[in-house]
Amino acid sequence: MLVTGAAGQVGSELARLDWPSGYEIAALTKAQMDISSTESILTGLESVKPDIVINAAAYTAVDKAEENSELAHTVNATSVELLARATALNDIGLIHISTDYVFDGESDHWYAETDPPNPTGVYGDSKLAGEEPVLGMGGMVARTSWVYGALAPNFVQTMRRLANERTEISVVSDQYGCPTAAVDIARAIRDVLLVDQRPTGLFHMAAPDDATWWDLAVAAIDQIEPKVDVRVNKITTAQYPTPAARPKNSRLNSDKLFESFGVRLQPWRKALVEVSAELNAKQAKDSGASS
């Protein structure tokens, strides 16, 4: 297996995951394989000779994408098409990670794969554009939601940092999604591959329960060790304007993943305990090293 975007949240978890005997993984950073270059892609494929490529490379700066539209589309769409063509021509499977931001969030139900996408920002639009060539060339697209983890920067880590710096923070409480641990996405991909070594089609791959950003912030802060004393205020989306509009509801229904492969991710609060334990251990080690 070849994993792109090895320095990102999901890519780094795929690289350190415990894989069964017979599975070998080559996790490559952008410096090692730049998917915006056909030459770099072909060189990487020739070097690794994978049976399947897992594309975890992405431009994920949602707000910055509004002013860097060309770059976002290059990474999330044009480059993905190059990768999809190269893998298809070389008879290599492809799993591509996408996002809940392909939906506008105007519906009040949990989004299924059959719901029509309608992104409201450049990031979601670029990710949707990247899905088409993957699906068109027989690959698998796995949409996920509100990714957090212990490795690359993310919302949970930001909340922990702010809680250690301030006595009061404010977090949006009227947007709903499915907080999903990066390690759980990596495990789900592994478990899918154990069932089908060449999966195809569109699937949602997210935690089975929902939360607001405020819910996730409070839970993440509650699990900080040693405990911190900080007030977490609820605010509305209108009170926290951002360059890119966020969907008010981006809850993903992942039943199809379970029905097809028997794979279901764990509830987000349970997953957060595992991630928080690793972050607490890192914090204790860093504190010890600096004292």
**Active-site residue list:** 123
Reference 6, options 38, 54, 47; nearest CA is 54
Nearest 5 degrees, angle CA 139-CA 142-CA 148? 145
Q: How many CB atoms lie within 10 A of CB 121?
A: 22
Backbone angles phi, psi at 142, to 5 degrees: -115, 105
Over the Cα atoms of the chain, what is R_g?
19
Contact 276, 220 (CB under 8 A): yes
**Cβ partners under 8 Å of residue 17, min gap 6:** 25, 183, 186, 187, 190
Element (H, E) at 63: none
Three-state DSSP class for 91?
Answer: coil
CB atoms < 10 A from the CB of 222, how many? Answer: 13
Grouping H, G, I as helix, E, B as strand and the rest as coil, residue 170 is strand
Question: What CA–CA distance (Å, rounded) separates 7 from 13?
Answer: 9
In angstroms, the CA 217 to CA 246 distance is: 17
Q: Are strands 176-177 and 211-212 parallel, antiparallel or unpaired?
A: antiparallel
